[in-house]
Amino acid sequence: MVNQPNSTSADEAPYIYCEDLFKIYKSEELEVVALRGLDLSVRSGEMMAIVGASGSGKSTLLNILAGLDQPSAGRVTVGTRDLLTATDEDLVDYRRSEVGFVWQQTGRNLIPYLTAVQNIEVPMILEGRSLSAARERAGHLLNAVGLAEKRDRKPTELSGGEQQRVAIGVALANDPPLLLADEPTGELDSATADEVFQVFRHLNADTGVTIVVVTHDREITARVDRVVAMRDGRTSTELVRHVQFSRGAGETIEEFAVVDHSGRLQIPREYLDQLGIERRARVDYVDGHVEVRPEHEPDQDEPPWKRR
């Protein structure tokens, strides 16, 4: 395996793999490039989060991974499936067996006139399971999301967080290996959001389901293995949490710039501004590291407003 972007383990094939992924939305008079050369890889069994400003392409990426939309160019595979070349039929099959999805809008995840347990049964019955088998698994999933007592309530009789927990049960009804959630706690207060993240965490630990969550939640780094930040349709930085076993039970969070498959990395805007780097920079290998300097070194005798 050569040039695996963001690979967290060099000797394991990634479960989700995106390389130089593009998505262009075309309308009559304009084109929007929502993904512009995105690289990402996710290990099987990982629980990771994607963060980024509004419009950075998070939902576009998630919809592609969910098989709801197809990219314009690049590579994207989930397991052994190639989502770029998949036919509509392949995608229907993929959505049914490989992936569960939770939306931000609680109302979009559940059928309003069905109870919690019935909502979870629906995807199984559509797959041809018997009602008794569906009921048994729905009960098990309600337990897993901590809502066994509220099985007969309808969505309007549940809080927002409870509705999202039922939605997780619906998404996992047919036991997909991948769970995707697009801002699942976006409409919840922070205590309720916490409960939802705990459910993700438990399910990930208990069943090994791979989880990718898009979120605005500031405290997300404490709750997942890895956080990847998106900017302008690409991954830009990556936060990785390390648990230290040596000196006490400490945790450190390290931030890395993502190096893509062709060696590009983004230098944070504020560093470029501080250094006065505009269109070109000097890049030198010095003593085991790389230095990036402005094209013209600032002249210390000149007043700051004249420096370049």
Q: Which is nearer to ligand ADP, 31 or 175 (CB)?
A: 31
CA–CA dist 76, 78 (Å, integer): 7
Question: Of residues 44-103, which lie at the interface with Mg ion (CB under 5 A)?
Answer: 59
d(CA 143, CA 273): 52
Instruction: Enumerate residues 6+ apart whose C-beta is below 8 A from 226.
Output: 8, 46, 48, 49, 238, 239, 240, 241
Binding characters for ligand ADP, 15-34, by CB under 6 A (x = yes): ----------x------x-x
Pairing of strands 226-231, 73-78: unpaired
Closest CA to 284 of 271, 300, 274, 295: 295
Phi, psi at residue 94, to the nearest 5°? -60, -50
**Between 61 and 199, whose beta carbon lies closer to ligand ADP?**
61
The only residue of 14, 57, 67, 71 in contact with ligand ADP, by rule CB under 6 A: 57
Q: Per CB under 6 A, which region of 51-59, 190-198, 215-223, 261-269 contacts ligand ADP?
A: 51-59
The entry of Mg ion, ligand ADP, none that residue 56 binds, CB within 5 to 8 Å by partner kind: ligand ADP
Least gap, CB of 54 to ligand ADP (angstroms) = 4
Backbone φ and ψ of 179, nearest 5°: -120, 125
The nearer residue to ligand ADP, 169 or 233, going by C-beta atoms, is 233
CA distance 271 to 277: 8
In the complex, which residue's CB is closest to Mg ion?
59
Helix (H, G, I), strand (E, B), or coil: what is residue 290? strand
Q: Does 256 bind ligand ADP (CB under 6 A)?
A: no
Largest CA distance in the chain: 83
Interface positions, 224-263, toward Mg ion (CB under 5 A): none
Q: How many CB atoms lie within 10 A of CB 131?
A: 10
User: To the nearest whole angstrom, how small is the minimum distance from the Cβ of residue 182 to Mg ion?
Assistant: 6
Q: Which is nearer to Mg ion, 141 or 167 (CB)?
A: 167
Alpha helix ranges (H) inside 50-189: 58-65, 88-97, 106-109, 116-126, 131-144, 160-171
Q: Are 40 and 18 in contact (CB under 8 A)?
A: yes
The one-letter amino acid code at 137 reads R
Task: Candidates 54, 80, 87, 132: give the one binding ligand ADP (CB under 6 A).
Answer: 54
The verdict on 56 binding ligand ADP (CB under 6 A) reads yes
Shortest CB 81 distance to ligand ADP, Å: 22
Under the binding rule (CB under 6 A), the answer on residue 37 touching ligand ADP is: no
State the binding string over 188-227 for Mg ion (x if CB under 5 A, else -). Answer: ----------------------------------------
Structure tokens, 211: 């989880």
Least distance CB 53 / Mg ion (angstroms)? 10
Size of the site for ligand ADP (CB under 6 A): 11
**Contact partner at residue 80 from ligand ADP, Mg ion, none, CB < 5 to 8 Å by partner kind:** none
Question: How far is residue 106's CA from residue 160's CA, in Å, rounded to a whole number?
Answer: 7
Residues that bind ligand ADP (CB under 6 A): 25, 32, 34, 52, 54-60
Residues that bind Mg ion (CB under 5 A): 59
